[in-house]
Amino acid sequence: MHWRTVNRWLRLFRQRRDVSAVLFGLVLSISILGNATCYYVFDHVKEPTVGDALWFSVISLSTIGYGDLQADSLGARLGTVVFVVILGLGSFSLMVGMLFECVADRLSREHKGMGSISAEGHILIVNFPSLHRIEQIIDELRADRDHGGREIVIVTDKIDELPLRRRKLSFVKGAVLDDETYRRAKIDRARLAIVLATDYGDTTSDAVVASAVAVIESMNDSIYTVAECLAPRHRMLFDSVRCDAVVFSHTISGNLLTQEILDPGVARMMDALTSNIHESCLFATEVIDPPDEYSYRNLASSMVNQDMSLVCVQREDDMLTSFASVHPSHGDRMIYVGKRRVSWQHILSGAVA
């Protein structure tokens, strides 16, 4: 009966950790102060200071016992037995055990995506179509010179725990259309969001992805979102949700397959240019207040001298690939091949009017 009662109280303490911490903390305080008081009062022959008494009490309670101070009088020894052996040691052991249990529980909750993250300027990857897909995207993000050091947060309810461990990688488990999930993912502090397809065989994927983008943009209108769309006919779903960019992954892969059979080598080139892992790849830089005397033909020539090659210019929804009589306009986005991402001012500084 006695052990059943003890076990029942221990289970209660584990369930109410806040109450347990306060209770054990109170018992430890009584143990330390009581033992220190006995040592200070009864071993007065040694003329101990208050600091000596507290030091003796703490070292005795932690079972270290350096031996520089010890109880000699009967009263001090009885105080050690009562306050350290009877009260203190059990409470100290339970407090240490609770501390380790809390740390282990928190790590487990984080790995299972049940907690909240603490990050800022991070990148969200929403949905988990496959482990290979997630690893590929993480590797590409990590290889980028400017964004490779950012925290990456995976948001999905399709897995029970994160199947991979990487540096600065977190997991939030929850429905991708639930605003509470994004609050735990600190959406208000996020910088970028990639919303992947739910599953490449799911016919409702595009609708779910568009809805997820709508939730993200409603909670953080400054975040840059890129959505994966499986069917081009569903493009209109993303027009009303303020999605910054839509990638038609199946269309791109189909185009590359066709291009490769007609013009061998194109697919390998695109693989190299679209991967951050290679020495040179595609970058984009926004045009800001360009001078009137510059043309894209001048810029393209000067960029070659800077070891860069201008590929095309995005002007709103148009992609310009011929630069014969095109002049830079504010808001254009220059897409070029280079070894690193550079600013518009850097490009302009090497140009000749």
pLDDT at residue number 87: 77
The average pLDDT across 305-310 equals: 90
Distance, CA of 262 to CA of 275 (rounded, Å) = 23
Please check whether residue 328 is in contact with residue 299, taking contact to mean a CB–CB distance below 8 angstroms: yes
| Of the candidate ranges 99-113, 217-231, 275-289, 308-322, the one whose mean pLDDT is the lowest | 99-113
The average pLDDT across 87-113 equals: 70
- In CATH, what number does 123-252 get? 3.40.50.720
- Residue 160 in this model has a pLDDT that exceeds 60: yes
pLDDT at residue number 17: 60
Phi and psi torsions of 218, nearest 5°: -70, -25
For residue 30, name the pLDDT band (cuts at 50, 70, 90): confident
pLDDT at residue number 107: 63
What are residue 149's DSSP bridge partners? none
- Residue 6 in this model has a pLDDT that exceeds 60: no
The average pLDDT across 120-139 equals: 95
Rg, C-alpha atoms of the chain: 32
Distance, CA of 327 to CA of 341 (rounded, Å) = 22
pLDDT at residue number 331: 92
- Judge if 2-111 and 123-252 fold alike in CATH terms: no
pLDDT at residue number 254: 92
How many angstroms separate the Cα of 87 from the Cα of each of 41, 74, 333, 340? 20, 18, 71, 65
- Residue 18 in this model has a pLDDT that exceeds 80: no
Instruction: Tell me whether residue 6 is exposed, middle or buried, using C-beta atoms within 10 angstroms of its C-beta: 0 to 12, 13 to 18, 19 or more.
Output: exposed
Domain boundaries, the chain: 2-111, 123-252, 279-349
DSSP 164: -
Q: Is 234 left (phi over 0), alpha (psi -120 to 50) or beta?
A: alpha
Residues of the chain with pLDDT > 70: what percent? Answer: 88
The average pLDDT across 230-243 equals: 91
Distance, CA of 309 to CA of 46 (rounded, Å) = 84
Tokens of 96: 């240490």
Per-residue model confidence as pLDDT tens digits over 130-159: 999 999 999 999 999 889 999 999 999 999
The average pLDDT across 80-101 equals: 75
Residue scoring higher pLDDT (3 or 345): 345
Q: What is the mean pLDDT of the chain?
A: 86
For residue 325, name the pLDDT band (cuts at 50, 70, 90): confident
pLDDT at residue number 60: 80
Distance, CA of 227 to CA of 267 (rounded, Å) = 23
**Type of residue found at 215:** V
pLDDT at residue number 243: 92
Please check whether residue 315 is in contact with residue 329, taking contact to mean a CB–CB distance below 8 angstroms: yes
Residues of the chain with pLDDT > 90: what percent? Answer: 46
For residue 10, name the pLDDT band (cuts at 50, 70, 90): low
- Please state which of the four CATH numbers 3.30.70.1450, 1.10.630.10, 2.30.31.20, 3.40.50.2300 is assigned to the domain occupying 279-349: 3.30.70.1450
- Residue 217 in this model has a pLDDT that exceeds 80: yes
Residue scoring higher pLDDT (12 or 212): 212
Residue scoring higher pLDDT (22 or 236): 236
At the top level of CATH, the class of 2-111 is: mainly alpha
